[in-house]
Amino acid sequence: MQIAAPADVRLLEKGMSVGEGLAAFSSAHQRAGAVASFLGTVRPDEAVQALELTHYQPLTLPGMSQLADSALRRFGLDGVLVWHRVGVMAPGQPIVLVITASRHRREAFDAVDFLMDHLKSAAWFWKREKRPDGWHWIEPRERDHADLARWN
């Protein structure tokens, strides 16, 4: 698998090879020393049968790329990977994978946190859940906004 350096940013219509992503990213950034990651999956919940993420082509991917660039600069990263699913996902399936490479652990961790907080409530995605009574749109929780405000 080819990884774009310093930023590999993808919107995926189906599936996500998380293991291959980490393996390829870490060999592309062998000089880093510290590689941190976060993988978010659809949490199985009796009431939730599926999750759907929609995006808006002209904004979503460019916004993710800008976010990746700002993480690179802010945390002095060697590399960053931001992959996000769109479409319909079943419980247990990956939604988002973020990986960062840095000289030190702290910067790699903080950058993953920063990226996830922004993807949750400041990226151009709209999420809805399918429950027994139909589809329901999900809005960010208060907590998500508070998490985002930490970086201002």
Partner 1 sequence: MSVRIVFLGPLRDMAGEQEREVAGPLDWHGLLREVGPQIAGQLAESRVNVACSGRVLADKTALFANDGDEVALLPPVSGG
What is the β-pairing status of strands 134-138 and 94-102? unpaired
| Cα–Cα dist 115/99, whole Å | 9
Token pair listed for 42: 């659809």
**One residue of 17, 26, 54, 93 binding partner 1 per CB under 8 A:** 54
| Cα–Cα dist 101/80, whole Å | 6
Annotate each residue in 18-57 with x if it binds its own copies (CB under 8 A) or - if it does not, as one string.
xxxxxxx-x---xxxxxxxxxxxxxxx-------------
Annotate each residue in 78-117 with x if it binds partner 1 (CB under 8 A) or - if it does not, as one string.
------x----------xx-------------------x-
- What is the residue-wise DSSP string for 1-17? ----SSEEEEEESS---
* Site residues for partner 1 per CB under 8 A: 40, 53-54, 56, 58-59, 62, 84, 95-96, 116, 119-128, 137-140, 144
